[in-house]
Chain A
Amino acid sequence: MEMLKRPVSGCITIIAATLVLLAGKPAQAERFELGAAPTEADAVVGCLYPMTGRSATYGRDSIAGIQIALDDLAAEAASGLPAPKLRVIADDPRSKASYAVRLAQDFITNDKARFFCGIVSSGVAHAVSDLALREKIIMVGTDHASSRLSIEAGHKYYFRVTNDSWTSMAAGARYLRDLQKETGWRKLAFIGPDYDYGHVSWTDLQLALDELDVEYETVSDLWPKLYEPDYSIYINALQSAKPDIVVTALWGGDFIAFIKQASTTRFFETTRLANFDTGANYDVMMALGDQPYPGLILSARHHNNWPETGRNKRFVTQFHEMTGRYPTYAAEGAYTGIMAIARAIEKAGSADNDEALIKSLEGLQLALPEDPPGFASYIDPDTHQIVQAQAVGTVVHNEDFPPSKLMVGNWAIYDAEDLKPSQEMVKRRRDAVAGGSEAVPPPTP
């Protein structure tokens, strides 16, 4: 008995110490409830965003983006417009598909959610999208980007309102085509995270380059795992392959770590580095400090300094006034998600009829902060993917959005219609999956 007491007391000491430590800090994981009260809401939206861990910034910014959308809707309602009252619940799926599905199921059962929104990880989004199909709940994706979700795995209940990997890579391919005319580059390398988003981005880039008849040689494609802390071996491998351009699908902290580690080598003296989907995000701009590494080509799903329209300036200012910081692209994505749901309900007349809501979302036009003058984003009725313009550029000194000292400038703008996947491409990819293949066959001559 004495033998048992001592280990038990040791364990109790450790557990007690841990509890004391935890008690000293507020819980980081938190369920957010925004908007209308349960009894007043026209519809409940269940959102999944990371509130803890390395992607927590995206979750926090998304919550602020949702709040801006709800404020805009409340202002519309106050002025007599028929804006619906939404109740938005957000929780943290902790980047785990099984946990996300459980939370989403609880949104339906306990909160009577009529819509899902959000989700940063494409892997997690796949799982929740499957649930949305089974439970017949409309899912409005806002932050994950794998084009597989809207093309191969798309279904009537799934919509996405931020740029997907195809849109970004189609813009990137056009930038690379134009750059080839200037510099004659030939050798291309790719480095992306070893999961769905990374691999789909690489496929999308190759397909987009092929569609444009860009001639290039792939000298290396590398697949570090997500959240890899040490890129030195990959950087050496890239330098050994001597590419003219490296395209990457690393994002967030991984992309920042890659840049920081590459900057300690001659990487930026010998090659260009392009990130067309997430590279110009504001957290990256801040992390660059005052170092505009030569050869960086970046874009993102929303920019604080492009387009210079009243709508974009107002959104960025609202966000800054609300939070005291400038937004990452996640904020505008979440804002768009809530506005899309609200407009669909307005158009359908209520949130009760799924078919009417789906019809409303298909082709829905939304004037968004990221839309250049004279264009409004819209949801493609076939793929359910939002169609948007994209701007790609290089890093320039710009201290208008402190603490960042750099922003992207020297823009090349690509029209939304040009960035849509062709119907033939969509059919080819869907047919390939229907035929049991993961590989996308080349176009028929």
Chain B
Amino acid sequence: MTTSELQFDTPADRVVEGPVLQVEDLHVSFPSESGRVQAVRGLSYHVSPGEVLGIVGESGSGKSVSSLAVMGLLPSSARITGSIKFQGRELIGRGDAELSKIRGRRVSMVFQDPLSALTPVYTVGDQIAEAILVHKKGSVSKQGAAKRAVELLDLVGIPNAAERAKAFPHEFSGGMRQRAVIAMAIANDPDLIIADEPTTALDVTVQAQVLQLLETAQEVTGAGIVIITHDLGVVAGFADRLMVMYAGRAVEKGKVDEIYQQPRMPYTLGLLGSIPRLDVSEKQALVPIKGQPPSLTDLPPGCPFAPRCPMVVDACHTAEPPLLDVDGSVEHAAACIRTNEIAATDAEGAEAAVEIFGAEVADEPEVAKIPREQREVVLGLDELVKEYPVTKGVVFKRRVGTVHAVSGISFDVREGETLGLVGESGCGKTTTLMEILGLHKPMGGQISVLGTNVAEVDNKRRFEIRRDMSVVFQDPMASLDPRLTIHDCIAEPMQVHGFSKDEINRRVPELMRLVGLRPEQLSRYPGEFSGGQRQRIGIARALALEPKLVVLDEPVSALDVSIQAGVINLLEELKSKLGLAYLFVAHDLSVVRHIADRVAVMYLGKIIEIGEVDSVFETPRHPYTQALLSAIPIPDPVKERQRERIILTGDLPSPANPPSGCRFRTRCFLHASLPPEKQRQCIEVEPPRERQAEDHEAACHFAQIRQVL
């Protein structure tokens, strides 16, 4: 076999007919201390030219590993068998030198984390030019490649491309870096682009930009695309066909519309039912899939999903069901022995999931029946300001600027309600949170907890207030001390506040049961628990002192969807049972719509829209809220394709130098469409927060309703 066979240099080498990529019975395994991990077990799929295939699954389902196998980028310890045919030529068994001739030229890849995907020591332009030079040495000069790199950067929407090509990766924002990676991926006009969670690490507004860019990339190159994701919303409008993976195998595949409307495998059903929907106003029941994905070292016989499946029968444990065509459908296959029974249910998609998994909506808390105005204010913020100085010099520090992290925000959280605080990263959400948790005199404005102004309290009183307020952090892996047992983790707040030993020993098991964990596990260490269980432990710790207010900082964003649903349900149940008030900080608006009663949207240190959740989501007044909402994909292919998306240009301006007047005007589509005299108002006058409707305020001179869902 000569290397020239893989070069595809002549036009005749390009196979026009047949799939670009054909994977047959792919198996990948890795050695590990507890035996061989069977990461991919008999996977078959194909991608036709110009087609978009979505691969969906939870972490550890083998979706990334199978794509890295196509690229030939798995570590040498991986054992790969089966067949991967690219344009009719077998790739398995080829050496690195041969594969490197196709990589980046015929098949290219976009990775998940754009922050680490670029080499920090070379300029962005050089790295893109390298992608061209490595394949076209001799035919393209260095200058030619550099020029082409600038063109590509321009194509992917980097403003001022010639200048920016000379910048280093750290001078680019996350979204810009992902654009640069996409520029690299399309540099050689490939026939297949594999995008591995290309938007997971990005903000929603940037996610919308990147998805649109991928669509453009496909139009420009005519390539087939494989998009890997755990977010069923992302692929709904973009993919043509879908493949759902579980435990290293495809468990369902078919046309996107069919899978969303008539899923035939309980796991797919569960996934669909576990996503909070942005477009559903009435309280929706979320389907939690109990348990954990199985360990792939030593799978028992039978269906790997059986231990988590609500429809499990004895026959499920005898043999693993093959992926068979669903009756009466073309190209739709599912791996489940009870497919036909699922087909017999009348309900469609997520509703069928609710029926089969038996999910319930938590009751409203008792206190919610009292009108909002009459309930106690648990947390009140009045014109809160936080600024950081920017200094220069080592010995003689001098102030050269100010970062306006939070510039005068006001809201209140009342007993038994949830306020969702949303916005892009860098908008001041976390700073606000830290100011509240610090309980110190703010730089400007006022914070009051349960009617007490925190600026006027002494240390003793501050310590007392802490009993009424607790926090759950984003990363459940990092927020528990790995050297403390679960018992000690949960008991710690009580020890600090001087509870007696007996009281603690009585209360800790009680808290474990409250969050749905078994008290027998109390002597274990955090390392032995999964992400979802650890987050439950974090919640138990937060509830130890019976607080009135719980501050939740992105509590579910680090969890897989099926696990996320369980934690959200738990939070709702606890709120109704204990009458808690939540301040829920999140960037995922779907989750906020599901859990919050009221929502506050932040942009560059200001609240630009606040109000009752349905009112804000259904009749958003501020252009930024409208853009945020329109950027979020809905897990419904039909709706998703019809939606008109507002794409915001550029990134968040630096909070050290916010625009004059309305801070959003630099990215505002409404502002851009206004006549000059009205534009002047945006530039010169900061818009005040004005009442738009019952419990609904927005800060825009030209606020108008625009429905985007």
- On whether the two chains bind one another, the answer is no
Question: What residues make up the interface of A, taking CB atoms closer than 8 Å to B?
Answer: none
Question: What residues make up the interface of B, taking CB atoms closer than 8 Å to A?
Answer: none
